[in-house]
């Protein structure tokens, strides 16, 4: 992969974000997701790469666009694995809430874990605690390590956890330890990445969420120097067989960051749809002027770029929502 590709893919997430943001608060999550997916696929056709979607909107017979195994890009340039979530937070957009993003990750061919759409248990920390924590350790021990490495008192450690009933025990234990809990609703890509960005004040991410989102997050965490461990949580025999078919001999093995994203290079790109931990949302400034807020990271160089852009929709009619 080259540095030009890192900047080129921002156009893809920008298009998805603008298209889906036009459905903000309208109560129509399917339409919002369709808008993001259609825009992302369209712009990908002009990106200089030979891409294969390894994490996408579903299998070939389940999704009309960006399905697992689909070839994208204009056929020129490097061969890459692509993981996409055109709209991370469909319910967020439908209900007009914060923290929705259009996200994607790229890696050299064969470097991204092929993750089925199932649950994954995850633990994420920033650079200071990288290599020192374990997914299977008690949360109390992990908090002690993170506090020491981040030069914080236990009471000042902030753990971000998705607000779900399945996490109540871990929430109670973090609070009993004396640390802070920050709950979020949907959108765990932004929440997990926040651990590696000092300005967020987030020290630790823990919980069970989507496996595809875990792989996408791993590309960003690798670029930021953070650390992540994970384990797939198959719910039945069928899900276990899907893991095996995708190359995991042991579906329940402990996955380190280098298992999720192999090699020394990966690209992560995201554009905010609604404002959240990581990015501001799409802003419609009047007339046909639209502002977007994006981030792009490359693991090989550890470069992180924040990109604010103005778009004229009259020049991009393909991004306009169909109000009919």
Annotated binding-site positions for substrate: 88-90, 119, 164-166, 186-188, 210
Could you tell me the two tokens for 246? 């995708």
Q: Rounded distance, CA 188 to CA 173, Å?
A: 21
* Helix or strand (DSSP H, E) at 270: strand 267-272
Helix 10-21 crosses helix 29-44 at what angle (to 10 degrees)?
150
Q: Rounded distance, CA 124 to CA 183, Å?
A: 15
* Helix or strand (DSSP H, E) at 296: strand 289-298
- Binding residue numbers for Mn(2+): 33, 57, 85, 88, 213
Q: Rounded distance, CA 110 to CA 133, Å?
A: 27
Q: Rounded distance, CA 86 to CA 65, Å?
A: 11
Half-sphere exposure of 94 (CA within 13 A, CB side): 13
- Binding residue numbers: 33, 57, 85, 88-90, 119, 164-166, 186-188, 210, 213
| Residue 222: DSSP 8-state | H
Coil, strand or helix at 60: coil
Could you tell me the two tokens for 298? 């490359």
- Phi-psi group of 50: left, alpha or beta (phi > 0 → left; psi -120 to 50 → alpha; rest → beta): beta
Buried/exposed 7-22: b ≥16 CB within 10 Å, e otherwise: ebbbbbbbbbbbbbbb
Could you tell me the two tokens for 158? 């902030």
Q: Rounded distance, CA 41 to CA 97, Å?
A: 25
Q: Which of 200, 165, 197, 204 is nearest to 181 (CA)?
A: 204
| Residue 112: DSSP 8-state | B
């Amino acid at each position: 992969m080259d540095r030009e590709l890192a900047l080129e893919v921002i156009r893809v997430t920008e298009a998805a974000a603008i298209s889906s943001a036009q459905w903000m608060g309208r109560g129509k999550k399917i339409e919002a997701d369709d808008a993001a997916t259609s825009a992302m696929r369209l712009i990908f056709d002009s990106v200089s790469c030979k891409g294969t979607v390894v994490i996408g909107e579903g299998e070939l017979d389940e999704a009309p666009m960006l399905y697992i195994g689909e070839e994208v890009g204009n056929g020129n340039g490097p061969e890459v694995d692509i993981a996409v979530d055109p709209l991370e937070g469909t319910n967020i957009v439908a209900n007009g809430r914060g923290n929705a993003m259009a996200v994607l990750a790229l890696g050299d061919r064969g470097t991204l874990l092929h993750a089925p759409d199932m649950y994954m248990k995850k633990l994420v920390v920033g650079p200071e605690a990288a290599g020192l924590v374990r997914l299977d350790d008690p949360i109390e021990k992990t908090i002690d390590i993170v506090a020491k490495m981040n030069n914080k008192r236990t009471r000042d450690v902030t753990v971000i956890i998705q607000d779900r009933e399945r996490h109540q025990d871990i929430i109670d234990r973090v609070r009993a330890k004396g640390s802070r809990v920050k709950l979020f609703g949907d959108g765990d890509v932004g929440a997990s990445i926040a651990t590696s960005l000092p300005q967020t004040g987030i020290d630790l991410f823990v919980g069970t969420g989507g496996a595809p989102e875990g792989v996408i997050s791993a590309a960003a965490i690798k670029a930021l120097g953070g650390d992540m461990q994970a384990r797939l949580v198959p719910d039945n025999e069928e899900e276990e067989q899907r893991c095996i078919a995708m190359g995991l001999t042991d579906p329940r093995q402990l996955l380190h960051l280098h298992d999720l994203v192999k090699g020394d290079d990966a690209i992560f790109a995201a554009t905010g749809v609604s404002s959240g931990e990581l990015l501001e949302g799409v802003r419609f400034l009047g007339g046909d002027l639209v502002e977007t807020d994006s981030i792009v990271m490359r693991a090989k160089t550890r470069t992180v770029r924040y990109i604010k852009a103005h778009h004229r929709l009259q020049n991009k009619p393909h991004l306009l929502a169909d109000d009919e």
